[in-house]
Amino acid sequence: MESLYIIKIGGNIVDNPVLLTTCLQAFAKVKGQAILVHGGGKMATSMAESMGVQQTIIEGRRVTNEASLKIVTMVYAGYINKNIVAQLQALGVNAMGLSGVDGNLIQAHKRNHDSVDYGFVGDIDTVNTNLLLELLSSNTKLVVAPITHDGKGQLLNTNADTIAQSLGTALASKYKVHLMYGFEKEGVLKDVNDPSSVIAHIDRPLYGTLKDQKLIFEGMIPKIDNAFEALDNGVQSVIIGKAEKMNELMNGTSGTTITN
């Protein structure tokens, strides 16, 4: 079975031209099939602030009102997505930029929560696996923005980590899927102020302990939750680490490996 690398990069990478270039150069060298999923939180937040649109983040998730939805759609599915695709084309990579809306790639529903109204935030229902297989079979590398839809004309802001995990599980029966979350740190850190305190391996019992001790919190929680869900649904490996060290993440010499 052929390998497929699904690599997610966050806003801290997207917003830094030097780090983004390094990351895309590594992505361009991936042999075989690959999908890049990107976020873009800082740019969207900065634009929202300049427009006087208040932003609220709860456990790493952006509460998305109507004004915020317009901003994240413009930023994520517009400028960031096309900028990445243009840079990959310059590196000789035949890349295609998509959001979850395009080709009905990802359908979602507006999140229902007992105590928090997340606004126009989507939780994923279906992934168009046939479309992905068709595009990948043409040796096209895909760049996916975290905007989905509900099938009734409503756009939804959807967590990019969740999108990466959902694409991975959708394709796990067709490829050996290796899921990588690349961000600005060396991996999951025991001490956020100590770059050398990388936790090389995390399993479920250790994860519970780290959460109880408040050593893992906020945005890292949904990231690791998604990692375990991916492993439970057929993904071969999940690694979290420094985005520009993509080659080292692939050969297992860097980052944090999540295991069951």
pLDDT tens-digit map of 80-117: 999 999 999 999 999 999 999 999 999 999 998 888 88
Give mean pLDDT, residues 57-68. Answer: 81
Contact 241, 186 (CB under 8 A): yes
Q: What is the pLDDT of residue 226?
A: 81
Residues, the chain: 260
Task: Flag whether pLDDT at 42 surpasses 90.
Answer: no
Q: What is the pLDDT of residue 79?
A: 96
CATH number of the domain enclosing 101: 3.40.1160.10
Q: What is the pLDDT of residue 10?
A: 87
Using pLDDT thresholds of 50, 70 and 90, give the confidence band for residue 8: very high
Specify the amino acid at residue 55: Q
State the CB neighbour count (10 A cutoff) for residue 19.
19
Edge-first strand listing for the sheet containing 106-110: 122-127, 106-110, 147-149, 155-157
Strands 141-145 and 147-149: what pairing?
A: unpaired
Q: Which residues does 25 contact at the CB level (< 8 Å), separation at least 6?
A: 91
Give mean pLDDT, residues 180-185. Answer: 87
- From residue 176, how far is each of 72, 116, 192 by CA, in Å? 32, 37, 32
Contact 183, 12 (CB under 8 A): yes
Specify the amino acid at residue 190: K
Q: How many structural domains does the chain have? A: 1
Q: What angle (nearest 5°) sits at the alpha carbon of residue 68, between those of residues 62 and 73?
A: 95
Token pair for residue 192?
């956020």
Which residue's structure tokens are 């297992």? 252
Interval 146-159: pLDDT, tens:
999 999 999 999 98
Q: Does 67 or 42 have the greater pLDDT score?
A: 67
Give the domain range for residue 240: 3-258
Strands 147-149 and 155-157: what pairing?
A: antiparallel
Give mean pLDDT, residues 19-29. Answer: 92
- Tell me 193's DSSP state: T
Calculate Rg over the CA atoms of the chain. Answer: 17
Three-class SS state of 117: coil
Q: What is the pLDDT of residue 60?
A: 62
Contact 183, 243 (CB under 8 A): yes
Interval 138-147: pLDDT, tens:
989 999 999 9
Three-class SS state of 84: helix
Classify residue 22 as left (phi > 0), alpha (psi -120 to 50) or beta.
Answer: alpha
